[in-house]
Amino acid sequence: MLLLALLSAACSRDDAPRLDDQGESVEQTAEMEIDVATPSFGIINILRASGNRVKVIAKAEAPLFAATGYRITINGTPAELYEFEDGAATAQAATSISPDGKSVAGKEMPNGGGQFFKTEKTIVVCSAADTAAATALESAIGKAFAGSR
């Protein structure tokens, strides 16, 4: 009787990891919610529609710009997404980035610099060494405007 109870309990347990709709474990990293009316939500959905796994982890801790910034992952690789009020603010922020992507507003970027991608109201930056995230961003929103691979 005891053996039957133990076997029944073992069979009813669900040990399989819970996965989100993009195949990533939901237990490992909590995802932050973003308002659907924001440009950031649109960029994230464009990346996802292109077949990428994207998670919004948290607000940017030391933002590169005076804008709302988010720490995200693209296919498990860290990146940052910044959202601006309008195209003029985005363009102004873009002028603070060196063409080689190694500095922003005169402050040196860590790890050899970044690759910067933009839309009308967003700038996304990933590590210059991260070709996979850069390729995903390039296919989803266009070529980098600063930095190089």
Instruction: Give residue-wise pLDDT tens across range 91-114.
Output: 999 999 999 999 999 999 887 889
Q: Is 3 domain-assigned?
A: no
Q: What's the structural domain count of the chain? A: 1
Domain region containing 66: 19-141
31 or 27, which is more confident?
31
Q: Is 59 domain-assigned?
A: yes
| Residue 74 reports pLDDT greater than 80 | yes
Site of tokens 């590590």:
127
Q: Is 100 domain-assigned?
A: yes
pTM for this entry: 0.77
Structure-block tokens of residue 24: 């990533």
11 or 130, which is more confident?
130
| Residue 138 reports pLDDT greater than 80 | yes
Q: Is 114 domain-assigned?
A: yes
Round to whole Å and give the CA distance between 126 and 23.
22
Q: Is 131 domain-assigned?
A: yes
What pLDDT score was predicted for residue 72? 96
Q: Is 5 domain-assigned?
A: no
Q: Is 2 domain-assigned?
A: no
Q: Is 12 domain-assigned?
A: no
| Contact residues for 52 (Cβ-Cβ < 8 A; gap 6+) | 74, 75, 136, 140
